[in-house]
Amino acid sequence: MGKVIANMSMSLDGFIADPADGIDELFGWMGSGEVEVPTAVEWATFRMSPASATYMRESMASVGALVTGRHLFDITHGWGGTHPLGVPVVVVTHEPPADKPNPDTFTFADSVETAVKLAREAAGDKNVVIASAKIAQQCLDAGLLDGIHVDLVPVLLGTGVRWFENLATAPARLEGPEVIEGQGVTHLAYSVRRS
């Protein structure tokens, strides 16, 4: 069975976006390298350092489904109908949008438990990636998370949206990390320790 892994780009001081949801400071490593990494969509092609490209290709190949929050779904306009990873996306929301996009790709669930269950079913033997700060927190608190993969960016933002803001079950002890050194990013792959 696949794992449930939270993955975000994060500043050294713990932010995953600036106060206006901007990610320019945090996503630079995905577009500034010499190795092209295509995605499932034409509008997004990564350009990364060789180390990050290898890591990203392996990560992308291991993902079977995504879980995101409603906020991310909204600000990306549902990724135009297809997520760059090209996998099914389960959106956690209490109010599914009236105009549901691409039903082959998007499912809506009203709890993280249901969302992870649906995503697991869609992912089969592959991993489920949680691509939303709040949903990742809720999954950790609910004991649903196997791994936390941080793409740690060498910047202090000082303000913005924190990844880990309201943990109910802290301290949460982790194992690892496995470290991959990119350019403008350090990939840190932690496992969640089960107590």
Site for its own copies, rule CB under 8 A: 11-14, 25, 140, 148, 150, 152, 154-159, 162-164, 166-177, 179, 181, 186, 188, 190
3-state secondary structure of 94: coil
Nearer to its own copies, 1 or 156 (CB): 156
**Residue 166: both structure tokens together:** 């309201």
Q: How far is the CB of 94 from its own copies (least distance, A)?
A: 25
Q: Name the nearest CA neighbour of 10 among 18, 190, 60.
A: 18
3-state secondary structure of 77: helix
Nearer to its own copies, 106 or 190 (CB): 190
Q: How far is the CB of 145 from its own copies (least distance, A)?
A: 11
Nearer to its own copies, 123 or 139 (CB): 139
3-state secondary structure of 64: strand
Q: How far is the CB of 168 from its own copies (least distance, A)?
A: 8
Q: How far is the CB of 165 from its own copies (least distance, A)?
A: 8
Nearer to its own copies, 109 or 130 (CB): 130
Length of the chain: 195
Distances (CA, A) of 155 to 30, 56, 111, 161: 15, 21, 33, 14
Nearer to its own copies, 45 or 166 (CB): 166
Q: How far is the CB of 13 from its own copies (least distance, A)?
A: 4
What residue type is 184 in one-letter code?
Answer: G
Residue 104, burial from CB neighbour count under 10 angstroms (0-12, 13-18, 19+): exposed
